Amino acid sequence: MKHYIGIAGTNAKHSTNRQLIQYMSHHYADSATITLADIAGWPLFYKTPDHTVPAAATTLAEQIQAADGVIIATPEYDHAVPAVLSSALAWLSYYIHPFAGKPVMILGASYGALGTSRAQAQLRQILTSPELDARILPSGEFLLGHSLKAFTDQGELTDAKAVAHLDELMANFAIFADINAQLTNSLRAIHKGAQA
């Protein structure tokens, strides 16, 4: 049983990205626990002179640290990730590094047809920066377009193909998390050997 943190990159009251994480936590309850993290209400990132971060960021950092991986569902604003998400990631890499070496799966939902393709590419770029240094699931994208019509009233995804695709990605993500753990362990061993 894997344990993941799910981040919907939004502070909007109604968000189909949050809905997507909620769907996953329910749909994959047999194979994983997915805890939905809330980044609404965090202050906008700035470089605090004393290097402190908001308490909410510290808490989430600890949860991420303890998790097997992170699932981020990003909206797309102006061909990019919302500021509220990039700001949260900035806090989560300011003198704390919970994402370093952490498996991350990127997905996203949008009202239009494209399903956040550009925001996902940018998020990938952000997560590879040295201060975040996440391990992003390399292949397979999940782009949920027309997201306002994608869910039933009960919060189920209506498109069976999308469900099958997401099932596959989730299975891959679990394998990726295991391989990454091995990689991290062997890297650690190499570093130790080099130091010895």
Partner 1 sequence: MKIVAIAGSIAEASYNRQLVAYIASHFAELADIQPLSIQDVPVFDEDLDIADYPAVQALADQIEAADGVILATPEHNHTLAPAMKNVIEWLSNQVHPFANKPTLIVGASYYTQGSSRAQLSLRQILEAPGVGALVMPSDEFLLADVQTAFDAQGNLSDPGTQKFLGTVMGKFVQWVNVLAAMKPTPDAPAWQAEDLTASHPTDTTIPVPMDADDWVEQGAAKTHAASGHDYVQLDRGLLTVDQLNWFLNTFPLEATYMDENNQFVYYNHFRDHDDMLAPRYPAQVGDAAAMCHPKRAQDHVKQVLHMLRSGKTDRFAMPVPGNQVNAKWIMHYYQAMHDGDQHYRGVNEWVLDIWPIVADYLKQTGQQLVPVPGAKVDAVSGASQSATAPAKPDADTGASAASEPPAAPAKPAPDADTGASAK
Q: Which residues of the shown chain bind partner 1 in the complex (CB under 8 A)?
A: 11-13, 40, 42-47, 49, 77-84, 86-87, 89-90, 93, 118, 122, 125-126, 128-129, 131-132
CB of 37 to partner 1, least distance (A): 17
Give the count of alpha carbons within 13 A of 147, CB side only: 24
CB of 46 to partner 1, least distance (A): 5
| DSSP code for 30 | T
Angstrom distance (rounded) from CA 193 to CA 26: 43
* Closest CB to partner 1 among residues 38, 159: 38
CB of 30 to partner 1, least distance (A): 34
The count of residues in the chain is: 196
* Amino acid found at 86: S
Give the count of alpha carbons within 13 A of 85, CB side only: 27
* Closest CB to partner 1 among residues 47, 192: 47
CB of 141 to partner 1, least distance (A): 18
* Closest CB to partner 1 among residues 14, 192: 14
* Closest CB to partner 1 among residues 20, 84: 84
Query: Taking the alpha carbons of 114, 115, 119, 125 in that order, is the dihedral positive or negative?
Result: negative
